[in-house]
Amino acid sequence: MFQEISQKKIAEIVEGRIINQSNELLISQIAIDSRQILHPDKTLFVALRGAKADGQAFIPQLADLGVKTFLVHHDYDELVAPDLCFIKVSDTRRALQLLAKFQRSLFTNPVVSIAGSNGKTIVKEWLGQILGQKYAVAKSPKSYNSQVGVPLSIFGIEGYHQVAILEAGISKAGEMSALEEMIKPNLGIFTNLGTAHQEGFESLESKLEEKLSLFSGSNFLIYCKDQKHVSERIEALFPMDKLVGWSDRAGAEFTRSVKVKGNASRLILMKSDLSTHTFQVPFTDVASLENITHVIVAAMTLGLNAESIQEGILHLKSVDMRLTLKPGINDSLLIDDTYNNDLAGLKVALDFMHQQRPKRRKILILSDLLQQGSPEKIYEEVAELIKKYQFDLLFGVGKEIFFLEQEFPEAFTGFSSTEELLTNLDPETFANDMILITGARVFGFEEVVNRLQQRIHGTTLEINLNALTHNYNFYKKLISPKTKVMVMVKAFAYGGGAVEIANQIQTMGANYLGVAFSDEGVALRKQGIKLPIMVLNAMQESFGLCSEFDLEPVVFSPEFFESLASWCTVHGTTMRIHLDMDTGMHRLGFDRKQLDKLKSLIQLNPQLEIASIYTHLVGADEDIHREFSLSQLKDFEEMKNEVIDILSYKPLVHALNSAGIVAFPEFQFDMVRLGIGLYGVEVTGKHDLALRAISTLKTTISQVKELEAGETIGYSRKGVLSTGGKIATLAIGYADGYDRRFSNGKGYVLINGQKASIIGNICMDMCMVDVSGMEVKAGDEAIIYGEKISLKELADQIGTIPYELLTNISTRVKRVYYLD
């Protein structure tokens, strides 16, 4: 934080009521997450009320840890103690923003802020790296750009920083004013305007105006003049002397020309005073070129000379900057953070690691943090983080990293270069470990990841855990904060990989998990998942496993009830069970006629405790079944009441699946059961834009071939290019779960953003696509589905439903998890 502040001052800034203030305590850290406390007594914990959970619930636990100062909602009065200071406000999120605004006002060096639809994070990272050669730069970690992310980014600004770069992202109308008030950028960059997140805005125009309002007080605004409706709006709203536009046509402050050669480009910028600057950049694609141009213009506007900018660009690559979870050698888990270069990023990676299921040892492979500022201070903080996260082994690469040796003489091994580390690293010494690999770009830690990674066959399913959280929060907002959520993770979490997804769900604050069979539940328990687990179809043979692994079977018939009850009697144990009421699905479940029998069984068998009663809707996704769904819900209410009447305790009641949450929120009862929606498909079609695709199925091109007219492709000679052309062979087939019905032009993939249709029949492990006229080569990536190819569209194309496509992905396809 830029400056320490007293409790009294905090209360003043947030206009809160203070209870038990202490005059000595100075606050230097602000935390919103109970897991991120480093110096408890110097920390202000801000209890936010989110879709996930109420931060206030963590106060007793934090008080035990030694936290003394809490910002809470004014109705809070559960834990009061003489040595704890409470600052009460009507809205803690707003208070957090006011604190950020205050901290920002103390920072007098330039603040750069980036808004726009695409490229914000890349522009921020690149600009940060280029400026970082000369200046101490503070920047938002990852994409901390939201109403809560921006304040946290601002608290990351320290006294020694010479420039701050903050990203600003909004998803609905009205959000920018709070960000503007906090960031108050001196220099703004507007990347571009896309149609993403249109849902929260009236029109594209209103979205643009809202975004631009971030720059109302800026001295300079950098933008591209070639997106016409954007530049017209900008030029109408801001005085000319603030504007720094660039364009591929003459007449801008910077006129750009680009010459592509091989896999690099020469970028020439001519200023309006006719001075020209030439840069060699390692990109050729339009988006990277646009991003780097914004970066160069911003760096020049901030006074950096062209040579230093060029020097910085040489060290950039169009790298993947996501934090990724990968299967590692001998059942280890790798966290790949090879694009990290500062302390803020390290904290995000550590927190991500902390959220994963436990492994045998924790191992950190870390390079020098190429961060300006006093190394003693920085490595002191790194050492504290290492202690807090309890690493067993440390591998350091670089010069300054040797500071850690004194702190951790036993655990630390240092190397002066990545080569030296690689020569001395024996991958076989790792097994079932958690390995965090984090290093500045120039150390090239990709090679380390490569060495420790489990071999991956050409096809991967990438799962975006942030998108999963986004979708979860979307549904949470449709229901009352009191309503519990069971997430269905049956069928390998709809294909996504049960353990990692269940782990993320547990972190998000869901209350229950649902699986189809006992084995699935056992696998989750063995990997440390603690949430209660309901098993839809527990078989007689697995009662022992249910009992041993604390799984809760669904009971759906009197016979099943009796056999489970007697099993429990014989084994002298009790079990929590769930009752399925059949109100029209006619799959499993008690029907009305069996209710009396059920009630007497319940009364005779107190060893079975009724954890919940539920029913399942058959057509909640379709309006034509609305009446039927309502009659199901009405029947269910009567049936569950009959059962509850004979109980001396209150089981949970639930009925809604994903579609039901959207269509019948008035029937949410105590809990809802979320499935497909979490995985990114909104089946009712009412909120098409609100969810994010969580998974991307990708493969690579194995070979490219030129064909003559009349030659045929694949089995049964089904594929033909009538005038000849070019095909690419992809490393995915029906055995990977790529449905054979996509054969012969029914399906297509995206290669470098362009559509390529399937040609001929899909084979077991491969398929061919038509790439005539496209620039492609072996090794290029092909997207089977993901953000740009919707599952619903694909499913329609072959007459099935997204559920089937998701769950068909073979387990031989590696799952890779990341945070974007």
Ligand X SMILES: *Cc1c(COP(=O)(O)O)cnc(C)c1O
Distance of CA 497 to the CA centre of its chain: 15
Residue corresponding to tokens 């569950």: 640
The residues carrying an active-site annotation are: 490, 715
Structure tokens at 663: 């269509």
Question: Which residues in 605-624 contact ligand X (CB under 6 A)?
Answer: 616
Interstrand relation of 695-707 and 512-515 (parallel, antiparallel or unpaired): unpaired
Q: How many other CB atoms are there within 10 angstroms of residue 128's CB atom?
A: 22
Q: Is the CB of 616 or the CB of 698 nearer to ligand X?
A: 616
Rounded to 10°, the helix 498-508/465-478 angle is 50
Among the listed residues 338, 469, 657, 668, the single contact to ligand X using CB under 6 A: 657
Give me the least distance between CB of 615 and ligand X, in Å please. Answer: 9
Which of the stretches 600-608, 663-671, 674-682, 730-738 binds ligand X when contact is defined by CB under 6 A?
674-682
455 is in an annotated binding site: no
| CA-wise closest residue to 328 among 463, 430, 425, 458 | 430
| CA-wise closest residue to 337 among 496, 141, 469 | 141
Q: Is the CB of 170 or the CB of 538 nearer to ligand X?
A: 538
Tell whether residue 488 is a contact of ligand X (CB under 6 A): yes
Tell whether residue 795 is a contact of ligand X (CB under 6 A): no
Q: Is the dihedral of CA 97, 99, 100, 102 positive or negative?
A: positive
Would you give the DSSP letter of residue 340?
-
Would you give the DSSP letter of residue 49?
B
Neighbouring-strand partners of residue 758: 769
Tell whether residue 658 is a contact of ligand X (CB under 6 A): yes
Tell whether residue 692 is a contact of ligand X (CB under 6 A): no
Tell whether residue 673 is a contact of ligand X (CB under 6 A): yes
Tell whether residue 676 is a contact of ligand X (CB under 6 A): yes
Tell whether residue 675 is a contact of ligand X (CB under 6 A): yes
User: Are the C-beta atoms of 397 and 366 separated by less than 8 Å?
Assistant: yes
DSSP characters over 467-515: HHHHHHHHHHHHS-TTSEEEEE-HHHHHTT-HHHHHHHHHHHT--EEEE
Rounded-to-integer distance, Cα 651 and Cα 420, Å: 61
| CA-wise closest residue to 170 among 120, 220, 228 | 120
Give me the least distance between CB of 676 and ligand X, in Å please. Answer: 4
Give me the least distance between CB of 386 and ligand X, in Å please. Answer: 42
Tell whether residue 438 is a contact of ligand X (CB under 6 A): no
Give me the least distance between CB of 171 and ligand X, in Å please. Answer: 23
Give me the least distance between CB of 690 and ligand X, in Å please. Answer: 15
Which of the stretches 74-82, 343-351, 420-428, 670-678 binds ligand X when contact is defined by CB under 6 A?
670-678
User: Are the C-beta atoms of 58 and 32 separated by less than 8 Å?
Assistant: no
Give me the least distance between CB of 621 and ligand X, in Å please. Answer: 7
Q: Is the CB of 294 or the CB of 616 nearer to ligand X?
A: 616
Q: Is the CB of 671 or the CB of 819 nearer to ligand X?
A: 671
Residues ≥6 apart with Cβ < 8 Å to 747:
738, 739, 757, 758, 794, 797, 798
Which of the stretches 282-290, 652-660, 734-742, 771-779 binds ligand X when contact is defined by CB under 6 A?
652-660
Q: Is the CB of 382 or the CB of 488 nearer to ligand X?
A: 488
Tell whether residue 483 is a contact of ligand X (CB under 6 A): no
User: In the complex, which residue's CB is closest to ligand X?
Assistant: 675
User: In 646-739, where does DSSP find H-type helix?
Assistant: 658-663
Which of the stretches 669-677, 687-695, 696-704, 721-729 binds ligand X when contact is defined by CB under 6 A?
669-677
587 is in an annotated binding site: yes
Give me the least distance between CB of 486 and ligand X, in Å please. Answer: 8
Residue at 312: amino acid letter: G
Rounded-to-integer distance, Cα 545 and Cα 549, Å: 6
Q: Is the CB of 657 or the CB of 743 nearer to ligand X?
A: 657
Q: Is the CB of 6 or the CB of 800 nearer to ligand X?
A: 800
Give the total of residues touching ligand X (CB under 6 A). Answer: 12
Residues ≥6 apart with Cβ < 8 Å to 383:
403, 404, 407, 408
Question: Which residues in 516-545 contact ligand X (CB under 6 A)?
Answer: 536
Q: Is the CB of 415 or the CB of 785 nearer to ligand X?
A: 785
Question: Which residues in 698-727 contact ligand X (CB under 6 A)?
Answer: none
User: H/E element holding 43?
Assistant: strand 43-46
Question: Which residues in 339-358 contact ligand X (CB under 6 A)?
Answer: none
Residues comprising the binding site? 587, 764
Binding site for ligand X (CB under 6 A): 488, 490, 536, 616, 657-659, 673-677
Task: Show binding-site residues for substrate.
Answer: 587, 764
